[in-house]
Chain A
Amino acid sequence: MKHIRTLNTKNLQNTVKKGGCGECQTSCQSACKTSCTVGNQSCESKRQQM
């Protein structure tokens, strides 16, 4: 495209059917524990596939 560059490759809407396994880490906006924020987490089931 000439005017637009899209950064990301996956669509959140596609996760409605496939998501919800619950294996991901708990998240906290604070790193006073050791978790991630929701926005920066990876999907655990994807990680296991890699």
Chain B
Amino acid sequence: MVHRYKNNGYLIVLDVNSGSVHIVDELVYEIIGLLETNVTPSEIVKNLKGQFEETDIRTALEECESLQEAGMLFTEDTYEEIITQFKDRKTVIKALCLHIAHDCNLACRYCFAEEGEYHGRKALMSFETGKQALDFLIANSGSRKNLEVDFFGGEPLMNWQVVKDLIAYGREQEQIHDKRFRFTLTTNGVLLNDEMIETANREMDNVVLSLDGRKEVNDSMRPYRNGKGSYERVVPVFQRFADSRNQDKYYVRGTFTRHNLDFSRDVLHLADLGFRQISVEPVVALPEEEYAIREEDISVLCDEYDVLAKEMIRREKEGKGFQFFHFMIDLTGGPCVYKRLSGCGAGTEYLAVTPWGDLYPCHQFVGEEKYLMGNVYDGVKNQKIRRKFQNSHVYAKEECKDCFAKFYCSGGCAANSYKFHGSVDGVYKIGCKLQRKRVECAIMVKAAKETALLNAHSKEER
């Protein structure tokens, strides 16, 4: 399977099964389109010699053929063969999302936890439960050395002492069990102070700072409970935090909704505020919510991704570049095929823990009673759910089989699929379209970077 597309003046061919990415000229672009439909080389020459020189056509055909022989073009899908062994793989738990607080000091309208209310059952995680969660993780992690613990919520800073105590406990246990904890923190920033910043900089591998973008956009979706906006409070402290981490190992993380389909403006606003690590992502919402993204919004959003990609390239050239999470792509190999097949790891390698110690496949499933998997005292009791997530991969989903983005997306978000289509085994179709666009843009941005480097290199040589 190959995927050809044009974006921002680049003609790009992605060979899906090898992960090879080729920047081609018009001639090869046409040739590959014809080869895809099994037109023979001699017919291709006949077909194209009106538009191109015959010698060029033959050279280009040879180049395509040598790529094919090198396993970088029209490569076969050999992965379905490993699926059986893959489905039976033994999984270990290596990441937990700790809901340190089921409470929040904001009332964000799109919150997966009902504006931080959690069905009215507010709670803070005790140190004892958190300790048990870390013990559970260690005990079930097999020989995995790197373990991830995410301090999440609600708003984890509302229970900061427990966060600190758990970090101290984790560091102690690392020595005993030869593990390494990667602690991370997601916060709305309202309670953030210098002491927390200092601790986070010492202990957290990454921090996620929630901020949607422009003030009016942010304040309409992220108000305090009294309706006032939170932008003025959090922007300065987030700027300080990001700078103190040397503009690295953090994301400022926004959500876009139907109310700001022109979200590239929010991304650029965040860049103008000085942030270099930015993520702005589509809201996860039930379709009936008035702020949910709809099918008819997709073409506007795709245009926004294009606008954003172009502007990022321009700013990079001017020395004002920034990273955009969804455009980050590793073309030097990236993760292995097993990782590409297993996706996010929710429900198998990665679980969410409520303040009471209950286990769910991920934070989006917390509170969905039929997805309760067990608890940190007794372990995972519901193996059926675990197996369901384990067997949910791109070869199990009809829609994924023919999708060029399958090894970047890995089947998409199970929670999105569940909320929109009632099953974790489906795909969230709106998400798919956006994902494909993002992969195309991400590759194009890489192509532009490479081209700029090549041009700089050849200028130097002259």
Contact = CB atoms under 8 A, between A and B. Distances in A.
Interface in B97-152: 97, 144-146, 148, 150, 152
A31 B329 contact: no
Which 3 interchain pairs have the tightest Cβ spacing? A19-B336, A10-B333, A39-B408
B20 A33 contact: no
Contacts, number: 206
Contact of A38 (B92, B95, B408): B408
Contacts of A20: 89, 336, 338
A39 B16 CA distance: 13
Interface residues of A, number: 42
Interface of A: 1-13, 15-16, 18-20, 22-44, 46
A46 B18 CA distance: 18
A44 B330 CA distance: 13
Nearest to A6: B22
Contacts of A32: 186, 208, 210, 253, 281, 363
Interface of chain B, main secondary structure:
mixed
A4 B148 contact: no
Contacts of B446: 7
Contacts of B24: 3-5
Interface in B187-221: 205-208, 210
Given A4-B22, A8-B20, A33 B363 contact: yes
Interface of chain A, main secondary structure:
loop
Contacts of B447: 7
B28 A4 contact: yes
A26 to B, nearest CB: 4
Contacts of A41: 330, 334-335, 339
19 contacts: A3-B25, A4-B23, A8-B19, A11-B19, A11-B71, A22-B338, A24-B335, A24-B339, A26-B344, A31-B253, A31-B325, A32-B208, A37-B325, A38-B335, A38-B407, A38-B409, A39-B334, A41-B330, A41-B339
A27 B344 contact: yes
B72 A6 contact: yes
B343 interface: yes
Contacts of A4: 22-25, 28, 60, 63-64, 67
Contacts of A25: 95, 146, 148, 182
